[in-house]
Amino acid sequence: MEKNNPEEFKVPFSPLLIGRYKMIKKIGKGSYGSVYKVEDIKDRKTATTPDSPKKYFAVKKMKLPANRLKIQGIDFTTLREINILQEIKHENIIPLVDVFHINRSTFMVMELMKSDLSKLMFSRTITLTIPHIKCIMLQIFYGLKELHKNWIIHRDLTPNNLLISEDGVLKFSDFGLSRFFASNNRPMTQNVVTLHYRAPEILFGANYYGPQIDIFSAGCILGGLLLRGTLFCGRNDIDQMSQIFKIMGTPSEETWEGVTNLPHYVEFEETPPQSFRILFPGIDEDLANLLEGLLVLDPNKRLTVEQCINHPFFNKSPDSCDPDELPMDDIS
């Protein structure tokens, strides 16, 4: 079966990386570069027993436009990603095993994960119950708590960047856009976060924002888990804003102080906010409250990570399931 897919065996460099990692197959591709499954040969050589299990890792080969490499050397996004992964050691953040450089390409060796959240979220064959959703969301909040505690904003929180191990442990990955938010009062770029998970303050072109943008993305993920799809599916910035305001209501100076002063502020047709209990009939009142708290338009009124973790939704029965109880076997 594998032979039929030419992409999987297309390895652009020597199959043995730095004499240690044996290339097995290509497992992913994105704007950042490509991901390969590798086997650690050194580990096998040093193993005491011959029957010891093989150790597999994922190697991320960072892609870089040729002209940028010519001019600037190693990409700054790669440097920042390495920096953050080295700094934070947490159960819900993917660990960085090794980094090396071959022929102008940077490789990051990371733990091999089974899947990502998008597969679990968009799969029609998997049933996600409230305990499953609680388990996933709590893991997201624990990861975010660790990041925000270390003054880091992820800035690209999407289901594709949340990887799940075989044990059901959810881990944050792709820190290419992350940055420290406490270092200075320096302006921040607006070209962050995937459009469908982008907070309204970024869509309005705010130059100064905080960890609340990650909370909004988490709210979009929670909505997506309930909807089994994308909650706000806009085609461009304006469309995205209109999608958000259809549900959350149009912002005004009363509901969001200072919104009219934002650089790209556009006045939308007035629409009242909708209740999530109407949008998702049959959901718990606490869950609806949590969703509302996560998706509040005014970033200052949005819930913090700690408030999310201590939310009554998570303290109420049914309790959250254990990570290994997540339906990982059903993922193709």
- The binding site for ATP consists of 60
- β partners of residue 62: 33
Contacts for 149 with CB less than 8 Å, ≥ 6 apart: none
List, by residue number, the catalytic residues.
Answer: 156
**CB of 76 or CB of 122, closer to other proteins:** 76
**What part of residues 82-121 is at the interface with other proteins (CB under 8 A)?**
82-83, 86-87, 99-101
**CB of 186 or CB of 235, closer to other proteins:** 186
Cβ at position 48, least distance to other proteins in Å: 27
Structure tokens that stand for 277 in this block: 């209990």
Report the residue from 46, 125, 184, 332 that binds other proteins according to the rule CB under 8 A: 184
Cβ at position 314, least distance to other proteins in Å: 28
Is 304 a binding residue for other proteins by CB under 8 A? The answer is no
**What part of residues 281-300 is at the interface with other proteins (CB under 8 A)?**
none
In SS3 terms, the chain reads as: CHHHCHHHHCCCCCCEECCCEEEEEEEEECCCEEEEEEEEHHHHHHCCCCCCCCCEEEEEEECCCHHHHHHHCCCHHHHHHHHHHHHCCCCCECCEEEEEEECCEEEEEEECCCEEHHHHHHCCCCCCCHHHHHHHHHHHHHHHHHHHHCCEECCCCCHHHEEECCCCCEEECCCCCCEECCCCCCCCCCCCCCHHHCCHHHHCCCCCCCCHHHHHHHHHHHHHHHHCCCCCCCCCHHHHHHHHHHHHCCCCCCCCCCHHHCCCCCCCCCCCCCCHHHHCCCCCHHHHHHHHHHCCCCCCCCCCHHHHHCCHHHHCCCCCCCHHHCCCCCCC
Cβ at position 37, least distance to other proteins in Å: 22
**Residue window 26-65: x/- pattern of binding to other proteins, with contact defined by CB under 8 A:** ----------------------------------------
Cβ at position 109, least distance to other proteins in Å: 11
Cβ at position 60, least distance to other proteins in Å: 14
Is 187 a binding residue for other proteins by CB under 8 A? The answer is yes
**What part of residues 139-158 is at the interface with other proteins (CB under 8 A)?**
151
Cβ at position 148, least distance to other proteins in Å: 13
**CB of 226 or CB of 305, closer to other proteins:** 305
Report the residue from 11, 47, 79, 227 that binds other proteins according to the rule CB under 8 A: 79
**CB of 58 or CB of 248, closer to other proteins:** 58
Q: Which residue has the tokens 């999407």?
A: 158
d(CA 201, CA 106): 34
Report the residue from 9, 13, 76, 208 that binds other proteins according to the rule CB under 8 A: 76
Part in contact with other proteins (CB under 8 A); list of ranges 26-34, 66-74, 199-207, 304-312: 66-74
d(CA 245, CA 268): 8
Part in contact with other proteins (CB under 8 A); list of ranges 187-195, 224-232, 253-261, 304-312: 187-195
Distance of CA 2 to the CA centre of its chain: 29
**CB of 189 or CB of 300, closer to other proteins:** 189
Q: Which residue has the tokens 């998702």?
A: 280
**CB of 79 or CB of 227, closer to other proteins:** 79
Is 125 a binding residue for other proteins by CB under 8 A? The answer is no
Q: What amino acid occupies position 114?
A: K
Structure tokens that stand for 243 in this block: 């999608």
Q: Which residue has the tokens 């011959």?
A: 50
Is 66 a binding residue for other proteins by CB under 8 A? The answer is no
**What part of residues 188-247 is at the interface with other proteins (CB under 8 A)?**
188-189
- Residue ranges binding other proteins (CB under 8 A): 71-74, 76, 79-80, 82-83, 86-87, 99-101, 151, 180, 182-184, 186-189
